[in-house]
Amino acid sequence: MIPLDMFGSESLAADLLQQVRWRDGVECPRCRSDRTVKNGSYGHFQRYLCKDCDCTFNDKTGTIFAHSKIALRKWLFSIYAFLRFNTSIRQLQTEIDVTYETIHRHVECFVTALDAPHLDLVGPVEIDEVYVTAGKKARDRERESRSRGLSTRGRGSYQSDKPPVFILVERGTGDRYVVPAKSADESTVRLLLADREEESLTVYTDGFRAYDPLDEDDEITREYVVHSDGEYADDEVHVNTCESQGRRSDPWLSPHRGVSKDKLTPYVPAFQLRRELFRKPGKEALKHAIRATL
């Protein structure tokens, strides 16, 4: 259900922000004191006075929504449509009658505010990478098939406008992490896997050579499939969960033509957020999205 009322009324949008922002009580953004009192209003937004440091602030102060020229309800609509329906910025421009540049700046501000995923891996873990074509219009996209195994075919690099995006899946919990990287090399792989709960970790990979050094690591048990040898998933040894996740992330980026590789990093956590929102009712999804930026 789309929370239409929030997008039609600035005061309802303001109420929603207030609810999400102060869910643990009002706190002064300057000195973190909770000794605050209501102090008039700032447009549709509640204003407060801090009794410890004497500063005034409102519901938007210190958030990405502060000092915005567009109404909060339009911004929330953009975020909602962007996450929920994968609406392009070009399309949003016609929906809410705000210039392309303005919406672009606001959506970018939103995705930049999202936290990078925090990994605390619990094994066994599947790890795999996909290469997202960045900075190209959709029709120019290469449609090459993903070659696997030890060859370099189909593997991209940050320099060649196909930055790698690592996908990690915990087999036990089903938790997935989507992490963009500058290169798909040994040190990146080690860095990703180092963020784990216990010392030893079982890892399923394919035959890509960046994973080979894991064989020498005493704390890591690596099992792998070599796709180019026509090997099929061998019981537990596969990266199929990663692959189905990877197939979903590339089409998702395609409406957002011309996202340059430098801007890609923040867009990928947005993809992960979209997945978290998938089954939430409209208003809950919107609250979750706001909370993710605070």
CB-based contact 171:201 (threshold 8 Å): no
- Tell me the per-residue interface mask from 21 to 50 with Zn ion, x by CB under 5 A, - otherwise: -------x-xx-x----------------x
CB-based contact 76:291 (threshold 8 Å): no
Shortest distance, position 62 Cβ to Zn ion, whole Å: 12
Residue 13, interface with Zn ion (CB under 5 A)? Answer: no
Q: Please give the full DSSP string across 3-27, using - where no structure is assigned.
A: -HHHHH-HHHHHHHHHHHHTTT---
Nearer residue to Zn ion within complex by CB, 54 or 197: 54
Coil/strand/helix, residue 41: strand
The torsion angles phi and psi of 13, rounded to 5 degrees, stand at -65, -40
- Tell me the per-residue interface mask from 43 to 82 with Zn ion, x by CB under 5 A, - otherwise: -------x-xx-----------------------------
CB-based contact 259:253 (threshold 8 Å): yes
Shortest distance, position 26 Cβ to Zn ion, whole Å: 11
d(CA 292, CA 136): 29
Nearer residue to Zn ion within complex by CB, 51 or 182: 51
Shortest distance, position 39 Cβ to Zn ion, whole Å: 12
Nearer residue to Zn ion within complex by CB, 46 or 87: 46
Please give the size of the binding site for Zn ion, defined by CB under 5 A.
7
Shortest distance, position 35 Cβ to Zn ion, whole Å: 8
CB-based contact 261:156 (threshold 8 Å): no
Shortest distance, position 58 Cβ to Zn ion, whole Å: 14
Q: Which amino acid is at 6?
A: M
Chain centroid, CA 224 distance in Å: 28
Tokens at 169, concatenated: 């899946």
Shortest distance, position 53 Cβ to Zn ion, whole Å: 3
The residue among 126, 188, 193 whose CA lies nearest residue 163 is 188
d(CA 162, CA 24): 42
Shortest distance, position 14 Cβ to Zn ion, whole Å: 22
Nearer residue to Zn ion within complex by CB, 36 or 293: 36
> Which chain residues interact with Zn ion by CB under 5 A?
28, 30-31, 33, 50, 52-53
